[in-house]
Amino acid sequence: MYQDYIITAISLLVIALIIAGITVRRYNIPYLYFVGGTVIAAFFWTDPGLVGNVFVRQLYPWFVPLFFMVGPGLYGSFCTIKERRNKWHVIHYIPIIIGYIILIVHLAFFNDSFYQTVQLAHDLKWEATSIFWPFSDKWILLAYPFHLLLYIIVSVGKLNSNKARLPLYILPVFQGVFLIPLFDIIYHFLMGTPILFADADVLRYIMFGNVLLIFWDVVNIRPRMQKEKEAEIKAYEAEKEAARKATFIKEAPKEIYPNAEKVNNAEIVLYIERLIQSGEEFPFNKHSKKSDFIKHSPFKTSDWVSFFSATSTNFGFFKKYARIHRALRLIEEGYLEDQSVESLAITVGYSSRAPFYLAFEQIMGESLTAYRKV
């Protein structure tokens, strides 16, 4: 029965991780850190009386630092998108980074010591193992519940500041309750004797409540948050995209269109930039009249009125400006190396080279001949 319980508990955690990976997806990656780290820890702390050192051999030492992503994952799952993507949020994962740095340095410069320590751990002899030198493995592993406790406290604080609904408190609060038997399991695993419970098997039976809690949170609580979080992501990405476009327009307004920085509608400025840079036929060639052009453009008449007002230009200038700058792009790409100016003029919408020459000088302030000599 005890063996069946262990198999059931770990299977439920693995299933919970799979379900979380499918349902939570990108809207709450830290939650996957929490569940994934919990699954790794569950395998590691599995009773050696049942599985011997099988899981320790597979997970030690390279997966041990990942125990310390459980707490940050729990806390991060309650943070907003902006908070999680803030560059300082990575500070929560510093113990993991330090752990891997120590492992790599230990392996690279103290190779013999590294493999001797690994062998001792695989033999479940924790008294002298210090793979994370100068820290004893025993104390690193015993610190895991306290590290998690810290993040349980800050998670509850985050929920309080967010004025979260009551069901969201259940997971962190009961994680704190289950830290007591968890610490005893770890202590017994490392020292060979428990502290609070004489029977170590009872500890693992108690932890089944935590398994059910996590499973319930994955299948019941987190899906309820999904729409809210997905809406938050969409709003965040829309805000970032708007900021990117605004920055783009601010950094190169003159290259796109005169006074482009004064235009509130970034989309219309980017549309003009696409007209100039695109290899498709100019819409002016088919719709040279203002009303026809606006009708076939992706913007309303009011958008264009606002645009021309903000830039202090008109449709005639706009058409001329776009045509000449399309011609400049073609010239830079080597169009005139094997084509004539007449062909270039017709390509950008002029009937011949004469009006093209005139428009070029009006827009650029110099003749095409002078421009090509520079």
Task: Give the amino acid at 296.
Answer: H
> Rounded to an integer, what distance in angstroms lies between the CA atom of residue 213 and that of residue 157?
20
Tens place of pLDDT for every residue, the chain, 374 residues?
667 777 888 888 889 888 888 877 667 888 899 999 999 998 888 877 777 788 888 888 999 999 999 999 999 888 877 788 788 888 999 999 998 999 999 888 888 888 888 888 888 888 778 888 777 888 889 999 999 999 999 999 988 888 878 888 888 899 889 898 888 888 888 887 777 776 666 777 788 888 888 888 888 777 666 666 666 666 666 666 666 656 655 555 455 778 777 777 777 887 878 777 776 666 666 656 777 778 878 888 888 888 888 888 888 888 888 888 888 888 888 888 888 888 888 888 788 888 888 888 888 888 888 877 76
**Token pair for 344:** 């270039």
From residue 280, alpha-carbon distances to 187, 267, 283, 335 in Å are 70, 19, 9, 15
- The answer to whether domain 253-373 has CATH 1.10.10 is yes
Provide DSSP, 138-182: HHHHHHHHHHHHHHHHHHHHHHHHHT--THHHHHHHHHHHHHHHH
pLDDT at residue number 66: 92
> Rounded to an integer, what distance in angstroms lies between the CA atom of residue 289 and that of residue 287?
6
Per-residue pLDDT tens for 62-78? Answer: 999 999 999 999 998 88
pLDDT at residue number 235: 65
pLDDT at residue number 94: 92
Burial 144-166 (b: 16+ CB within 10 A, else e): bbebbeebbebbbebbeeeeeee
From residue 246, alpha-carbon distances to 120, 162, 228, 239, 295 in Å are 59, 30, 27, 10, 26
pLDDT at residue number 230: 63
pLDDT at residue number 153: 94
pLDDT at residue number 70: 92
How many other C-beta atoms lie within 10 A of the C-beta of residue 307?
A: 23
> Rounded to an integer, what distance in angstroms lies between the CA atom of residue 345 and that of residue 342?
5
**Token pair for 5:** 């319980």
pLDDT at residue number 151: 93
> Rounded to an integer, what distance in angstroms lies between the CA atom of residue 48 and that of residue 190?
11
Provide the whole-model pTM.
Answer: 0.64
